Amino acid sequence: MIRVENLTKRYGSVTAVDGATFTVRPGTVTGFLGPNGAGKSTVMRMLTGLTPPTSGHATVLGRAYRDLPNAGAHVGVMLDASAQHPGRTGREALTLASIAIGVPRTRVDEVLRLVGLTDDEAGRRVRTYSLGMRQRLGLAGAFLGEPRVLVLDEPANGLDPQGIHWMRGLLRDFADRGGAVLLSSHLLAEVQAVADDIVVIGRGRIVAQGPVAELVDGLGAIARSLDDAALVAALEAAGHAAAATASGVVVEAEPVDVARIALAAGIVVTDLRPHGAQGLEDLFLRLTADDAREVAA
C-alpha cells in the first residue's frame, strides 16, 4: 500500500535523504526507526506531499499522495499532533476536518470515542490540552476518514503507559483488518511489540529493513558471565562473532551453543537468553552508531 523508491532530498549541499527504498504491505505495521536528524520526518513529509523530493518517488494506494482524490478519506496522517489551532475546541477541529474530506459529522463522535476523548474534553480549547490529549486528537483526525493507510510520526509521544498500551492495540487491530501502518517512534520496545516489519534509516540512507522476526529474533544470543572478556574470546575461538556490550555479550550463535562453549572454557554464565528479548534496541544502536551524538566517556 506504500511504496518508496529511490527517494532523495537535498537542501543545497546537504543530502537529508539518500535513495530511500522500502514498502509497507497491507495488513502490517511497519516501524520506521532512526536517530534524530536521520531523515525519518523528511521521508514522511515527502510521502504525504508536504515536501517535494529532489528525485525518486513515493506512492500510497498506487498513486502519489497529491494525486489521490480526497486523500484524507483514504490515508490517515499525523505528523505533528500540535498542529491544531489552539483556539478551537477538539470537536471543532475534527468537525472542520470532516467537512473538508466530506464525511458525515457523526463520524466525529465515533473517532472521539475511538481515541478515548470525553465530551467534556472534546469541548475544551486545544490550548488547554496536555501533550497526551493532543496525541489522541491527532489520532482521531487520522482515523476520521476511515482510512486504509496510516502514516504516524511519534504517535505515542506524551502518552502514559496505559495510553501506549491502548495505542498498540488500536494499531494492531487496524492492521489485522487489512490496513497498512507506517509508524515512526523512538519507543523501541513498543515498536518491537506491535510491528511486523521494521525499516531503519541512518544519515538519510536505509541501513536495514525486513520482518522483525528475521532482523531481531535471528540475532543469536545475549549472555552475561563472571568474565565477559574470556567469554568473548572463547566464542570467537569457536568461530562465532561476539562482542561485549553494555547489555552483555552479544553473539551470533544459539544459546545452547553459547552454554556449551562457556562450560568447556570453565566460564560461569550468569544470564543467557535469545537476543530477541532485547534485540531491537541493540540492533538499532549497532546500525545507527555513526549517528549517535553521545560518546562513551
Q: What is the pLDDT of residue 191?
A: 87
Residue 291 has pLDDT above 70, yes or no: no
Q: 27: domain range?
A: 2-210
Let me know whether 93 and 64 are in one domain: yes
Query: Could you give the CA distance from residue 41 to residue 20 in angstroms, rounded to a whole number?
Result: 13
Q: Higher model confidence: residue 125 or residue 243?
A: 125
Which of 210, 238, 259 is at the close of a domain? 210
Return the amino acid letter for 97: A
297 lies in some domain: no
Position 81 confidence tier, pLDDT thresholds 50, 70, 90: confident
Over range 65-81, report the average pLDDT: 94
Q: What is the pLDDT of residue 199?
A: 95
Which of 147, 180, 210 is at the close of a domain? 210
DSSP string covering the chain: -EEEEEEEEEETTEEEEEEEEEEE-TTEEEEEE--TTSSHHHHHHHHTTSS--SEEEEEETTB-GGGSTTGGGTEEEES-TT-S-TTSBHHHHHHHHHHHHT--THHHHHHHHHHT--HHHHTSBGGG--HHHHHHHHHHHHHTT--SEEEEESTTTT--HHHHHHHHHHHHHHHHTT-EEEEE-S-HHHHHHH-SEEEEEETTEEEEEEEHHHHTGGG-EEEEES-HHHHHHHHHHTT--EEEETTEEEESS-HHHHHHHHHHHTPPEEEEEEGGGTHHHHHHHHHTGGG-S----
The model's pLDDT over 152-165, given as tens digits with 9 standing for 90+, comes to 999 988 888 899 99
3-state secondary structure 71-138: HHHCEEEECCCCCCCCCCEHHHHHHHHHHHHCCCCHHHHHHHHHHCCCHHHHCCEHHHCCHHHHHHHH
Let me know whether 90 and 228 are in one domain: no
Least confident of 51-65, 99-113, 232-246, 263-277: 263-277
Let me know whether 226 and 204 are in one domain: no
CATH number, residue 88: 3.40.50.300
Percent of the chain at pLDDT above 70?
94
Let me know whether 172 and 225 are in one domain: no
Let me know whether 95 and 177 are in one domain: yes
Let me know whether 29 and 78 are in one domain: yes
204 lies in some domain: yes
Q: What is the pLDDT of residue 296?
A: 44
Let me know whether 201 and 280 are in one domain: no
240 lies in some domain: yes
The model's pLDDT over 223-275, given as tens digits with 9 standing for 90+, comes to 999 999 999 999 999 998 888 877 788 888 888 899 999 999 999 999 998 76
Let me know whether 172 and 268 are in one domain: no
Let me know whether 14 and 130 are in one domain: yes
Let me know whether 206 and 223 are in one domain: no
Q: What is the pLDDT of residue 27?
A: 97
Let me know whether 58 and 109 are in one domain: yes
Which of 189, 210, 231 is at the close of a domain? 210
Let me know whether 111 and 180 are in one domain: yes
Place of cell 476536518: 97
Q: Which residues pair with 22 in a beta bridge?
A: 4
If one counts the domains in the chain, the total is 2
